[in-house]
Amino acid sequence: MSLRCVILDGSVRQTRQGIKAARFVVEQLARRGHTTTLVDPLERPLPLLDRMYKEYPKGEAPAILEALAETYRRADAFVIVSGEYNNGIPPALKNLLDHFLEEYFFRPSAIVCYSAGAFGGVRAAMQLRMTLGELGMPSIPSIFPIPHVQDAFDDRGAAKQPVFEQRIGRFLDELEMVRQGAPPKAGAGDALLSRGAPQNRTSGSSTEISTKYGAAWWIVSSATGMSASVSFAGTGCPVGFVATASP
Protein backbone atom coordinates (compact mmCIF):
# COMPACT_ATOMS: atom_id res chain seq x y z
CA MET A 1 0.00 0.00 0.00
CA SER A 2 1.47 3.31 -1.08
CA LEU A 3 1.37 6.00 1.58
CA ARG A 4 1.59 9.76 1.28
CA CYS A 5 4.43 10.52 3.67
CA VAL A 6 5.35 13.97 4.88
CA ILE A 7 8.87 14.36 6.26
CA LEU A 8 9.47 17.37 8.50
CA ASP A 9 13.04 18.56 8.94
CA GLY A 10 13.89 20.61 12.01
CA SER A 11 17.00 22.69 11.39
CA VAL A 12 17.65 25.99 9.63
CA ARG A 13 21.34 26.30 10.56
CA GLN A 14 23.65 27.25 7.67
CA THR A 15 25.91 24.29 8.46
CA ARG A 16 23.09 21.90 9.29
CA GLN A 17 23.70 18.18 9.10
CA GLY A 18 20.28 16.71 9.72
CA ILE A 19 18.97 17.62 6.27
CA LYS A 20 21.12 14.77 4.94
CA ALA A 21 19.31 12.36 7.26
CA ALA A 22 15.99 13.74 6.02
CA ARG A 23 17.07 13.16 2.39
CA PHE A 24 18.07 9.61 3.34
CA VAL A 25 14.60 8.97 4.77
CA VAL A 26 12.91 10.48 1.70
CA GLU A 27 14.91 8.18 -0.59
CA GLN A 28 14.16 5.10 1.53
CA LEU A 29 10.43 5.83 1.56
CA ALA A 30 10.42 6.41 -2.20
CA ARG A 31 12.16 3.07 -2.76
CA ARG A 32 9.28 1.41 -0.92
CA GLY A 33 6.77 2.97 -3.31
CA HIS A 34 5.55 5.79 -1.06
CA THR A 35 5.08 9.36 -2.20
CA THR A 36 7.04 11.90 -0.20
CA THR A 37 6.95 15.58 0.60
CA LEU A 38 9.93 17.01 2.44
CA VAL A 39 9.02 20.04 4.51
CA ASP A 40 12.23 22.02 4.92
CA PRO A 41 11.86 25.08 7.16
CA LEU A 42 14.74 26.76 5.34
CA GLU A 43 12.83 26.58 2.06
CA ARG A 44 9.51 27.35 3.74
CA PRO A 45 10.42 30.04 6.25
CA LEU A 46 7.51 30.35 8.62
CA PRO A 47 7.48 33.38 10.91
CA LEU A 48 8.02 32.84 14.61
CA LEU A 49 4.60 31.79 15.75
CA ASP A 50 2.11 34.60 16.12
CA ARG A 51 -1.19 33.20 14.86
CA MET A 52 -1.74 29.50 14.29
CA TYR A 53 -3.15 28.51 10.91
CA LYS A 54 -6.56 27.87 12.42
CA GLU A 55 -6.70 31.36 13.95
CA TYR A 56 -6.94 32.99 10.52
CA PRO A 57 -10.40 33.48 9.05
CA LYS A 58 -11.07 30.92 6.33
CA GLY A 59 -9.22 31.84 3.15
CA GLU A 60 -7.08 34.53 4.81
CA ALA A 61 -4.08 32.52 6.02
CA PRO A 62 -0.76 33.29 4.29
CA ALA A 63 -0.20 31.12 1.22
CA ILE A 64 2.73 29.31 2.86
CA LEU A 65 0.48 28.13 5.71
CA GLU A 66 -2.39 27.24 3.37
CA ALA A 67 -0.10 25.05 1.28
CA LEU A 68 1.28 23.26 4.34
CA ALA A 69 -2.18 22.72 5.78
CA GLU A 70 -3.25 21.03 2.54
CA THR A 71 -0.10 18.89 2.54
CA TYR A 72 -0.72 17.79 6.13
CA ARG A 73 -4.42 17.04 5.58
CA ARG A 74 -3.58 14.72 2.71
CA ALA A 75 -0.78 12.87 4.53
CA ASP A 76 -1.07 9.24 5.61
CA ALA A 77 1.96 9.37 7.90
CA PHE A 78 4.59 11.79 9.16
CA VAL A 79 8.31 11.35 9.75
CA ILE A 80 9.86 13.94 12.03
CA VAL A 81 13.63 14.44 11.71
CA SER A 82 14.97 16.10 14.83
CA GLY A 83 18.39 17.08 16.05
CA GLU A 84 19.16 17.54 19.73
CA TYR A 85 19.78 21.06 20.99
CA ASN A 86 20.59 21.23 24.70
CA ASN A 87 18.78 17.93 25.30
CA GLY A 88 15.64 19.19 23.58
CA ILE A 89 14.26 19.66 20.09
CA PRO A 90 15.47 22.47 17.81
CA PRO A 91 13.46 25.72 17.94
CA ALA A 92 12.87 25.64 14.17
CA LEU A 93 11.16 22.27 14.52
CA LYS A 94 8.93 23.38 17.37
CA ASN A 95 7.99 26.49 15.44
CA LEU A 96 7.22 24.46 12.32
CA LEU A 97 5.07 22.02 14.28
CA ASP A 98 3.16 24.52 16.41
CA HIS A 99 1.59 26.43 13.51
CA PHE A 100 -0.82 23.52 13.04
CA LEU A 101 -2.88 21.12 15.12
CA GLU A 102 -6.04 19.52 13.68
CA GLU A 103 -4.33 19.23 10.30
CA TYR A 104 -2.14 16.45 11.81
CA PHE A 105 -5.05 14.49 13.39
CA PHE A 106 -5.03 11.31 13.50
CA ARG A 107 -2.15 9.77 11.58
CA PRO A 108 0.98 8.09 12.99
CA SER A 109 4.39 9.68 13.12
CA ALA A 110 7.88 8.23 13.28
CA ILE A 111 10.83 9.91 14.95
CA VAL A 112 14.25 10.06 13.31
CA CYS A 113 16.66 11.72 15.75
CA TYR A 114 20.32 12.54 15.44
CA SER A 115 23.23 14.30 17.05
CA ALA A 116 26.92 14.96 16.62
CA GLY A 117 27.72 12.69 19.56
CA ALA A 118 27.25 9.04 20.41
CA PHE A 119 23.67 9.09 21.71
CA GLY A 120 21.93 10.00 18.45
CA GLY A 121 19.58 12.64 19.83
CA VAL A 122 17.46 10.29 21.94
CA ARG A 123 16.88 12.88 24.67
CA ALA A 124 15.22 15.17 22.14
CA ALA A 125 13.24 12.20 20.83
CA MET A 126 11.68 11.56 24.23
CA GLN A 127 10.47 15.14 24.44
CA LEU A 128 9.25 14.98 20.86
CA ARG A 129 7.09 11.95 21.67
CA MET A 130 5.06 14.03 24.10
CA THR A 131 4.60 16.87 21.63
CA LEU A 132 3.58 14.54 18.82
CA GLY A 133 1.02 12.87 21.08
CA GLU A 134 -0.51 16.25 21.85
CA LEU A 135 -0.54 17.10 18.14
CA GLY A 136 -2.63 14.01 17.41
CA MET A 137 0.06 12.12 15.55
CA PRO A 138 1.43 9.72 18.17
CA SER A 139 4.80 8.24 17.35
CA ILE A 140 5.41 4.57 16.59
CA PRO A 141 7.21 2.53 19.28
CA SER A 142 10.67 2.51 17.70
CA ILE A 143 12.79 5.56 17.10
CA PHE A 144 15.62 5.82 14.59
CA PRO A 145 18.63 7.42 16.31
CA ILE A 146 21.61 8.50 14.22
CA PRO A 147 24.84 9.10 16.17
CA HIS A 148 27.68 11.13 14.62
CA VAL A 149 25.31 12.48 11.99
CA GLN A 150 28.05 14.57 10.39
CA ASP A 151 29.81 11.37 9.29
CA ALA A 152 26.76 9.28 8.42
CA PHE A 153 25.60 10.54 4.99
CA ASP A 154 26.84 12.36 1.92
CA ASP A 155 25.18 15.63 0.91
CA ARG A 156 22.50 13.86 -1.11
CA GLY A 157 21.63 11.64 1.83
CA ALA A 158 23.32 8.40 0.76
CA ALA A 159 24.36 6.41 3.84
CA LYS A 160 28.10 5.89 4.21
CA GLN A 161 27.65 2.72 6.29
CA PRO A 162 25.33 -0.18 5.39
CA VAL A 163 23.96 -0.33 8.93
CA PHE A 164 21.62 2.60 8.29
CA GLU A 165 19.91 0.94 5.34
CA GLN A 166 19.58 -2.28 7.34
CA ARG A 167 18.02 -0.52 10.31
CA ILE A 168 15.68 1.79 8.40
CA GLY A 169 13.95 -1.18 6.78
CA ARG A 170 12.62 -2.49 10.08
CA PHE A 171 11.74 1.02 11.21
CA LEU A 172 9.66 1.78 8.14
CA ASP A 173 8.05 -1.68 8.30
CA GLU A 174 6.78 -0.61 11.70
CA LEU A 175 5.45 2.72 10.46
CA GLU A 176 3.56 0.94 7.65
CA MET A 177 2.18 -1.63 10.09
CA VAL A 178 0.90 1.03 12.48
CA ARG A 179 -0.63 3.06 9.63
CA GLN A 180 -2.39 0.01 8.26
CA GLY A 181 -3.63 -0.87 11.72
CA ALA A 182 -2.46 -3.87 13.70
CA PRO A 183 -5.48 -5.93 14.82
CA PRO A 184 -6.53 -5.05 18.38
CA LYS A 185 -6.48 -7.72 21.05
CA ALA A 186 -9.49 -8.69 23.15
CA GLY A 187 -10.28 -6.04 25.70
CA ALA A 188 -8.50 -3.23 23.89
CA GLY A 189 -9.71 0.09 25.19
CA ASP A 190 -11.30 -1.41 28.30
CA ALA A 191 -8.68 -0.21 30.70
CA LEU A 192 -8.87 3.32 31.90
CA LEU A 193 -6.01 4.50 34.02
CA SER A 194 -7.65 7.12 36.12
CA ARG A 195 -8.01 8.07 39.75
CA GLY A 196 -11.56 9.09 38.92
CA ALA A 197 -12.73 5.73 37.63
CA PRO A 198 -11.68 3.04 40.11
CA GLN A 199 -14.02 0.46 38.65
CA ASN A 200 -12.00 0.46 35.46
CA ARG A 201 -8.66 0.95 37.04
CA THR A 202 -5.94 -1.43 36.03
CA SER A 203 -2.42 -1.82 37.28
CA GLY A 204 0.87 -3.26 36.19
CA SER A 205 3.86 -2.09 34.26
CA SER A 206 3.23 -0.42 30.92
CA THR A 207 4.56 -3.52 29.19
CA GLU A 208 2.21 -5.84 31.13
CA ILE A 209 -0.79 -3.63 30.40
CA SER A 210 -0.09 -3.22 26.70
CA THR A 211 0.61 -6.96 26.35
CA LYS A 212 -2.73 -7.67 27.98
CA TYR A 213 -4.84 -5.16 26.07
CA GLY A 214 -2.95 -4.53 22.84
CA ALA A 215 -3.07 -1.27 20.94
CA ALA A 216 -5.52 1.15 22.51
CA TRP A 217 -5.93 4.75 23.49
CA TRP A 218 -5.51 5.25 27.20
CA ILE A 219 -6.61 8.11 29.33
CA VAL A 220 -4.22 9.02 32.06
CA SER A 221 -5.02 11.64 34.62
CA SER A 222 -2.58 13.23 37.01
CA ALA A 223 0.82 14.69 36.39
CA THR A 224 2.38 11.25 36.01
CA GLY A 225 0.66 11.06 32.67
CA MET A 226 3.36 13.04 30.95
CA SER A 227 6.09 10.50 31.65
CA ALA A 228 3.65 7.66 31.07
CA SER A 229 3.15 8.85 27.50
CA VAL A 230 6.80 8.21 26.76
CA SER A 231 6.89 4.70 28.17
CA PHE A 232 3.56 3.70 26.63
CA ALA A 233 4.55 4.94 23.19
CA GLY A 234 7.61 2.71 23.46
CA THR A 235 5.43 -0.35 24.03
CA GLY A 236 3.27 0.24 20.99
CA CYS A 237 0.35 1.47 23.04
CA PRO A 238 -0.06 5.17 22.31
CA VAL A 239 -1.53 7.33 25.02
CA GLY A 240 -4.32 9.86 24.85
CA PHE A 241 -4.47 12.37 27.66
CA VAL A 242 -6.87 13.98 29.96
CA ALA A 243 -4.20 15.48 32.18
CA THR A 244 -5.16 16.98 35.51
CA ALA A 245 -3.09 18.15 38.42
CA SER A 246 -2.54 15.60 41.17
CA PRO A 247 -4.70 16.23 44.23
Ligand X SMILES: Cc1cc2nc3c(=O)[nH]c(=O)nc-3n(C[C@H](O)[C@H](O)[C@H](O)COP(=O)(O)O)c2cc1C
Under the rule (CB under 6 A), what is the footprint of ligand X?
11, 13, 16-18, 83-87, 115-117, 119, 149
Distance CA 157, CA 135 (A): 28
SS3 43: coil
Could you tell me which residues come within 8 angstroms of residue 44 by beta carbon, excluding any fewer than 6 positions away? 64, 68
SS3 212: helix
Sign of CA dihedral 139, 170, 75, 189: negative
Q: How far is the CB of 181 from ligand X (least distance, A)?
A: 33
Q: How far is the CB of 126 from ligand X (least distance, A)?
A: 12
Q: How far is the CB of 120 from ligand X (least distance, A)?
A: 8
CB nearer ligand X, residue 17 or residue 194: 17
CB nearer ligand X, residue 17 or residue 210: 17
CB nearer ligand X, residue 18 or residue 133: 18
What phi-psi label fits residue 119: left (phi over 0), alpha (psi between -120 and 50 degrees) or beta?
alpha
SS3 49: coil
CB nearer ligand X, residue 9 or residue 76: 9
Q: How far is the CB of 27 from ligand X (least distance, A)?
A: 17
Residue 219: strand pairing partners:
240
Q: How far is the CB of 59 from ligand X (least distance, A)?
A: 35
Could you tell me which residues come within 8 angstroms of residue 114 by beta carbon, excluding any fewer than 6 positions away? 17, 18, 21, 81, 82, 83, 84, 120, 121, 145, 146, 147, 149, 152
C-alpha 3: how far from its chain's center?
16
For the chain, what percentages of helix, strand and coil (3-state, to nearest 5) are there? 40, 15, 45
CB nearer ligand X, residue 41 or residue 136: 41
Q: How far is the CB of 46 from ligand X (least distance, A)?
A: 17
Q: What is the DSSP string of 177-207?
A: HHHH-PPPPTTTT---B-TT-GGG---S-HH
Q: How far is the CB of 13 from ligand X (least distance, A)?
A: 4
CB nearer ligand X, residue 56 or residue 119: 119
CB nearer ligand X, residue 149 or residue 209: 149
